[in-house]
């Protein structure tokens, strides 16, 4: 087997590791040393570009505070609109999934949130909360907190017009 710098064996799998700014960062496990070496190179590029690799451990509540501060407040929205968005998040999203890790959200979790919202609130308010949750998840993908939006593909229940 050719020697790859920074690649180590664990059982019959390989992983890449890099010591950077006083902390060790590792890749996932791969079946070949070459794959682990390539993943290590990607890891090194991310580290040197300043990508926050601790994004995977962030909770919905922590991400929401960043979302509100960096995105909503930066859009120059009316203060009443900002307060309305904050209330939707505080009343509808935090009680249900606020302490859950963003990276561990599944489509089933989002479906469960939607079902609970529609049983607890009026149809229109529940729809607004779900739209806000979807916007936040879309921003989380753009900001590279998650790789895929777990709300994609779910049936949406729109508010009925009278």
Percent of the chain with pLDDT over 90: 30
Q: Provide the mean pLDDT of the chain.
A: 84
In this structure, the answer to whether residues 47 and 68 fall within a common structural domain is no
The position carrying tokens 């909770």 is 59
- Residue 136: the pLDDT is 93
- Residue 156: the pLDDT is 67
1 and 19 Cβ atoms separated by less than 8 Å = no
pLDDT band at 49 (very low <50, low <70, confident <90, very high): low
In a domain, 154, yes or no: no
Domain range enclosing 93: 56-142
Task: Write out pLDDT tens, residues 6-42.
Answer: 888 888 888 888 877 777 778 888 888 888 888 888 8
Q: Which two tokens stand for residue 89?
A: 């998040």
| pLDDT of 99 strictly over 70 | yes
In a domain, 156, yes or no: no
- Residue 80: the pLDDT is 92
In this structure, the answer to whether residues 103 and 130 fall within a common structural domain is yes
Strand, coil or helix: 149: coil
CA 71 to chain CA mean position, Å: 15
Higher pLDDT, 92 or 74: 92
In this structure, the answer to whether residues 74 and 136 fall within a common structural domain is yes
In this structure, the answer to whether residues 119 and 46 fall within a common structural domain is no
In a domain, 67, yes or no: yes
Number of domains observed in the structure of the chain:
2
Q: What is the DSSP string of 13-53?
A: EEEEEEEETTEEEE---BSSHHHHHHHHHHHHHHHHHT--G
In this structure, the answer to whether residues 70 and 31 fall within a common structural domain is no
In this structure, the answer to whether residues 62 and 134 fall within a common structural domain is yes
106 and 150 Cβ atoms separated by less than 8 Å = yes
Average pLDDT over residues 101-119: 91
- Residue 21: the pLDDT is 74
- Residue 1: the pLDDT is 45
In a domain, 25, yes or no: yes
Average pLDDT over residues 126-149: 90
- Give whole-number Cα distances, 20 to 29, 66, 87, in Å: 19, 25, 40
């Amino acid at each position: 087997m050719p020697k790859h710098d920074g690649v180590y064996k664990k059982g019959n799998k390989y992983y890449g590791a890099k010591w950077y700014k006083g902390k060790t960062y590792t890749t996932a496990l791969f079946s070949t040393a070459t794959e682990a070496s390539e993943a290590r190179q990607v890891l090194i590029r991310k580290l040197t570009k300043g990508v926050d690799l601790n994004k995977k451990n962030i909770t919905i509540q922590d991400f929401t505070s960043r979302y509100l501060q960096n995105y909503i407040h930066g859009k120059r929205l009316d203060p009443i609109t900002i307060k309305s968005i904050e209330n939707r998040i505080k009343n509808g999203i935090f009680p249900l999934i606020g302490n859950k890790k963003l990276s561990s959200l599944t489509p089933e979790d989002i479906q469960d949130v939607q079902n609970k919202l529609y049983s607890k609130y009026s149809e229109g308010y529940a729809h607004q909360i779900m739209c806000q949750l979807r916007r936040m998840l879309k921003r989380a993908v753009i900001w590279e907190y998650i790789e895929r939006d777990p709300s994609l593909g779910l049936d949406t229940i729109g508010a009925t017009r009278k």
